[in-house]
Structure 1
Amino acid sequence: MRYAFLLLFFCLQSLLCAQTDLSDEVVKNIQARIDNGYSPSIAIGVIDADGPRYYTFGTATIGGEAVDEHTIYEIGSISKTFTGILLAQMVKEGKMELDDPVKKYLPESVTMPMWGEQYITLGHLSDHTSSLTRLPDNMEPADRANPYADYTVEQMYHFLKNHQLRREIGSEYEYSNLAQGLLGHVLARSAAKSYEELMLEKIAKPLGLQETTITLNPSQREQLAPGHRMGRPVSNWDIPTLAGAGAIRSSLHDMLLYLSANLGLQKSDLYPAMQLSHQARHDKAGNNRVGLGWHITEGSEGDVIWHNGGTGGYRTFAGFVNESGKGVVVLTNSTKGADDIGFHLLNPGAELIEVKKSLAVTVKNAIEAEGAEDAWPTYMRIKKTDLKSYDLNENEINNLGYYYLESGNTPAAVAVFKINTDAFPESSNVYDSYGEALMKDGQNEAAIKNYQQSLKLNPANSNAVDMLAKMGAKPELEEVTVDKATLQTYVGTYQLQPGFNIVISREGPQLFGQATGQEKFALYAKSETEFYLKVVNAQVQFMVKDGKVESLTLFQGGQELNGKKVK
């Protein structure tokens, strides 16, 4: 019944169903996401010369009011494109240059990290080649559900003063919230305003974006769709110091106006600055080029200029193609993203994900209905009869376990983490989490066994070492050395999917891996062909045939991603 109502609603929005931008395949795919608990709502907007069209699915809260084009979402890192345009506008006004050193716009007492005599420029901050890390290492949030809220300008300055760069500035792409947040801070400081005041003055007000802001007024707060994780509402994120990296909130209505201006469909004095922000500055991000904030991916109908976003309970996408004059916005209020929908609508050759039932949600429902003792039988029944119909997501199951652990339902947490060890036996993290729950449940012998297994899979798991010591057990660690000649054979680019590569490099006896849009991390040998990361729970295995390296497999978050060596 809800589906029929929504379909009628869409027809009214588009005036005629025959004019819809969404094929039957896309509608069914979106509705399946709603039905399977991917997100309470998915709001999609399309803009071209014919004007805006809105397609809204679901409700702001589970069982709540239907969303519409004026419902407000956190747009997360799409904010970086606003920051890029603000920089471009400063350049067009002759107030800044892209090659200006960042230090020029900071207090004299603030020291910026350098590489020899080379300094970080405003352009480096905007195109992710500053060599600054993704986040500063002195972030210690009091509330992990709102992690940026208490990070101060003083802390950022302290980090910059003491940080040592790891590579030459401009040499590599490394996605950085810190760099973009610093850029927003510099722009605001130069204008003697807050970032929000600058964004409202230069972008929101000239474009008529009345639902685009950072600080919500009472009316806007009523329009806000609460963020969700695993079907539960979560805290909104406040990002005062690094606002330029992801603090903006907006609606489908306003975001289509924003894309209309970027496409030149809506006349605006900002258009020259927007065009400057779209220009590719480098092609160091795998198959993506990068402008000022924007990413650029080749598509069948022209370059897709885009950015996505994610905060604690939202995933969003905004992109456009100049050649077709078409823009697309996708907003969701959950941690299940929908970038594939945005790319598919802009580039028909891009595939939609296969939507499956969530195993985590199904187990959660069983526990809520029958208790913790029903979790394992529910999982085993699904495993034996219908596993292919379910999405086995390691992170979702892990998050569910911690939901019960933090709420004091230890038996349910133990049951959920046990499921994860069966579903993902090659993951170090699932044994670590299971060990934690067992330890809290007083089952130390079983906890030790699981921490040992976690450490075996990932020798860099310092938490497992600490927990074993706490329980009086000695960790068993084994160092593996691989000769430089073998390491060199792994160097190259591996394509996991269109637009997403892993570049393997070597520096002396150390192997490194860098995924598109991410930092470069060291890889440590577990065997001659198996390596692990210390910064995240992930492993890489190289596939060798007849002495030639053909591909690699990335094991992370319960997924196995295969990448063919392309160069």
Structure 2
Amino acid sequence: MRRLFVALAATALVGVAPLGAFAQTAAGPAKPATVSTDRLSDAAIRQILAQRVDVDHQSRGMVVGVIDARGRRVIAHGLMGAGGKPVDGQTLFEIGSVTKALTSLLLADMVRRGEVRLEDPVADHLPPGTVVPTRNGKAITLIDLATHTSGLPRLPTNMAMKDPLNPYADYTEAQLDAFLRDYVLTRDIGGIYEYSNLGVGLLGRALAYRAGGDYETVLRQRVLTPLGMSDTAIVLSPAQAARFSSGHNAALEATTHWDLPSLAGAGALRSTADDLLKLTAAELGLVDTPLKAAMADQLVPRRPVGGGVEVALGWHVWSTPEGGIVTHSGGTMGFQSFVGFNRKTGLGVVVLSNTAGVMGVDDIGLHLMTGQPLKTPPKTRVAVPLAPAAFDKLVGRYAMAPGAVMTIRRDGERMLGQLTGQPTVELFAESPTTFFLKVVDAQLTFAVDAEGRGTAVTLHQNGQNTTAPRLAEGAEVPAPPRPAKVAALSVAELDALTGRYALAPGFVVTVTRKGQSLFAQLTGQPEFEVFPESATRVFWTVVPAAASFTLGPDGKAVSLTLHQGGRDMPAPRQP
């Protein structure tokens, strides 16, 4: 649902795919350009980091690593945490989905050793009795998992998180096995690309089982040690833990570190810029390594993604006149990462941030790789003083949506706004009729009559403009419209859909029944009635949104998927 004032975090790891999946760039470089020495100078990079950290406040600390004709360089700016040590090339960050590139390198190496084949069904390399879904007589293979074409969803739907801020921590292999046993594939295996943390997590588990160890041990023996990546790990030594940065949310508040015990291959690794430069140096062929042949195999494009992008084993590849640009990015609740390289130009770039800032870090990586423009930072707005009398003409209630009212009031010299069910926030004047918020990128414009009295207000947020007319004194809030056609469900069918569904860390959709009606409420938002289209799908009338439910063997919903704004956002049911 559209969230007014406080924007809902994207449930697509940023990452957080439903509950913290890992961010992945979907579009490639805009206009590749020849490598520019000026763009890649230490001074130019340092200026970018200072802008992003000190001016745009998108991170506490950032590190960039570059390999080019001048050798390896690390440029850092900012701190490990509020009042902490400066970040540098040896600071450890959660690297999220960049882990997938290393998991797939392990796959390529095991194929080279003759231990597995890309076409092997993954079930052949899992514990006896593990059931993996099939479709039309076809089994999910290792290459299907490595290229995100397995047909498995982004995340399993039975993630009943004890701690939404560490969503994967208590998800067990037994729960994973139960999900795989019961899940029915909704699309053909090996067909359409659909990014899946579950799929690559399962790949990591299968490879580790085939090699006879746990994921971290096998990866260290086969990949990390040969590459000299001694500071890349899941379990940190005391010395490494001392160099492990705090993670931060977009408000620069410290967040919980993530743990992924049963889906480690999808995003559990922590690493440093120095270590990731070792990886890129090997991928560029600048150093000799026993993994050279496996790396060459890994980089072969395998299946189309769309938009001129192909997926190799764990990497995404854009073909350009300047050579193939190979990248992967990642994000967790408190970190963002980017690794990219171009074998033709010999350029490699690493970008690490200890904050899940809304601007991300991919644009920095692609700017350094190709000359693509950097993202434009949020507009800097300056508050101007207004007389209390000017505020008072705008005070009142405004019908933002059926069932949702924005209340504007004055507290001394401060202007305050509150949307139904949300906290009160301060509004800052840019003019007598335009205001902005500091807690989120949103603005308000008031329409006034000849006497300067507010008649309506328009909220500008997330590219949308929502106008709310002023309510007369004592007027009732308009009721949400009722659709003409609604499916008639029994009480049992309605009850099967009720429950709490974790849409993102800290955001839960609560579905309840009142008589013959269903209601849904997102954390921090008003409750709205939803209307059944069928026994497994409902829709809202206050916003253009719908939700479809997946039912378990007992007929009760085990997850819902929110459909809004062209996105599908799965949410597993909580206990």
Q: Same fold by TM-score, threshold 0.5 exceeded?
A: yes
- Structure 1 segment 200-219 matched on structure 2, within 5 A: 200-219=220-239
Secondary structure at 2:235's aligned position in 1? coil
Query: Does 2:43 align with 1:34?
Result: no
**Residue 374 of structure 2: aligned partner:** 352
Query: Residue 302 of structure 1: CA displacement?
Result: 1.8
- Structure 1 segment 64-463 matched on structure 2, within 5 A: 64-229=84-249, 230-299=251-320, 301-336=322-357, 337-348=360-371, 350-356=372-378, 376=417, 378-382=426-430, 393=441, 422-424=459-461, 452=480
Change (3 A) 1:28 1:246: same
User: Could you tell me the TM-score, scaled by structure 1's length?
Assistant: 0.67
Mapped partners of 1:104, 1:330: distance in 2: 37
Mapped partners of 1:109, 1:371: distance in 2: 69
Coordinate RMSD, CA, aligned: 4.3
The structure carrying a bigger strand percent of its residues is: 2
Query: Residue 90 of structure 1: CA displacement?
Result: 0.4
Mapped partners of 1:390, 1:375: distance in 2: 12
Mapped partners of 2:379, 2:126: distance in 1: 51
Secondary structure at 1:202's aligned position in 2? helix
Amino acid at match of 1:56: A
Secondary structure at 2:271's aligned position in 1? strand
Query: Residue 78 of structure 1: CA displacement?
Result: 0.2
Query: Residue 19 of structure 1: CA displacement?
Result: 8.1
Query: Residue 258 of structure 1: CA displacement?
Result: 0.7
Secondary structure at 1:91's aligned position in 2? helix
Query: Residue 97 of structure 1: CA displacement?
Result: 0.5
Secondary structure at 1:42's aligned position in 2? strand
Query: Residue 304 of structure 1: CA displacement?
Result: 1.1
Secondary structure at 2:340's aligned position in 1? strand
Q: Which moved more, 1:251-260 or 1:378-387?
A: 378-387
Higher gyration radius (CA) = 2
Mapped partners of 1:142, 1:255: distance in 2: 32
Change (3 A) 1:42 1:525: same
Mapped partners of 2:428, 2:115: distance in 1: 64
Query: Residue 244 of structure 1: CA displacement?
Result: 0.3
Q: 1:255–1:329: 8 Å Cα contact kept in structure 2?
A: yes
Query: Residue 202 of structure 1: CA displacement?
Result: 1.2
Amino acid at match of 2:78: G
Mapped partners of 2:361, 2:100: distance in 1: 19
Residue identity (%): 34
Query: Residue 72 of structure 1: CA displacement?
Result: 0.5
Mapped partners of 2:238, 2:345: distance in 1: 39
Query: Residue 27 of structure 1: CA displacement?
Result: 4.3
Mapped partners of 1:122, 1:66: distance in 2: 41
Change (3 A) 1:211 1:425: closer
Secondary structure at 1:341's aligned position in 2? helix
Q: 1:184–1:244: 8 Å Cα contact kept in structure 2?
A: yes
Change (3 A) 1:371 1:77: farther
Mapped partners of 1:344, 1:426: distance in 2: 24
Mapped partners of 1:555, 1:176: distance in 2: 13
User: Could you tell me the TM-score, scaled by structure 2's length?
Assistant: 0.66
Change (3 A) 1:294 1:198: same
Secondary structure at 1:379's aligned position in 2? strand
Change (3 A) 1:533 1:211: same
Q: 1:310–1:316: 8 Å Cα contact kept in structure 2?
A: yes
Mapped partners of 1:297, 1:114: distance in 2: 31
Q: 1:427–1:454: 8 Å Cα contact kept in structure 2?
A: no
Mapped partners of 1:67, 1:393: distance in 2: 28
Gaps of 5+ in 1: 1-17, 360-369, 395-419, 432-444, 482-521, 541-553, 557-567
**Residue 512 of structure 1: aligned partner:** none
Q: 2:481–2:541: 8 Å Cα contact kept in structure 1?
A: no
Amino acid at match of 1:177: N
Mapped partners of 1:289, 1:160: distance in 2: 27
Mapped partners of 1:255, 1:425: distance in 2: 34
Q: 1:76–1:316: 8 Å Cα contact kept in structure 2?
A: yes
Change (3 A) 1:276 1:223: same
Query: Does 2:565 align with 1:539?
Result: yes
**Residue 503 of structure 1: aligned partner:** none
Change (3 A) 1:53 1:169: same
Mapped partners of 2:151, 2:310: distance in 1: 17
Mapped partners of 1:257, 1:143: distance in 2: 35
Secondary structure at 1:95's aligned position in 2? coil
**Residue 488 of structure 1: aligned partner:** none
Mapped partners of 1:223, 1:250: distance in 2: 10
Query: Residue 465 of structure 1: CA displacement?
Result: 8.8
Change (3 A) 1:468 1:533: closer
Secondary structure at 1:61's aligned position in 2? coil
Change (3 A) 1:72 1:111: same
**Residue 556 of structure 2: aligned partner:** none
Gaps of 5+ in 2: 1-36, 382-410, 418-424, 443-456, 469-473, 488-496, 501-508, 520-527, 549-560, 570-575
Change (3 A) 1:253 1:183: same
Q: 1:79–1:244: 8 Å Cα contact kept in structure 2?
A: yes
**Residue 401 of structure 2: aligned partner:** none
Q: 2:531–2:540: 8 Å Cα contact kept in structure 1?
A: no
Q: 1:289–1:296: 8 Å Cα contact kept in structure 2?
A: yes
Q: 2:458–2:465: 8 Å Cα contact kept in structure 1?
A: no
Query: Residue 26 of structure 1: CA displacement?
Result: 5.2
Deviations 1:501-520, CA, capped at 9 Å, x for gaps: xxxxxxxxxxxxxxxxxxxx
Query: Residue 296 of structure 1: CA displacement?
Result: 0.9
Amino acid at match of 1:381: A
Change (3 A) 1:452 1:305: same
Match of 2:40 among 21, 34, 43: 21
Q: 2:562–2:568: 8 Å Cα contact kept in structure 1?
A: no
Deviations 1:274-299, CA, capped at 9 Å, x for gaps: 11111100113443100111011234
The structure carrying a bigger helix percent of its residues is: 1
Amino acid at match of 1:70: Q
Deviations 1:448-492, CA, capped at 9 Å, x for gaps: 969949999xx9x9888946949x9986667899xxxxxxxxxxx
Deviations 1:215-261, CA, capped at 9 Å, x for gaps: 01111011011100111000000111100000000001110011101
> May I ask how many residue pairs the two structures share in their alignment?
432
Change (3 A) 1:22 1:374: farther
Deviations 1:320-354, CA, capped at 9 Å, x for gaps: 01110110000001112210010111111x22101
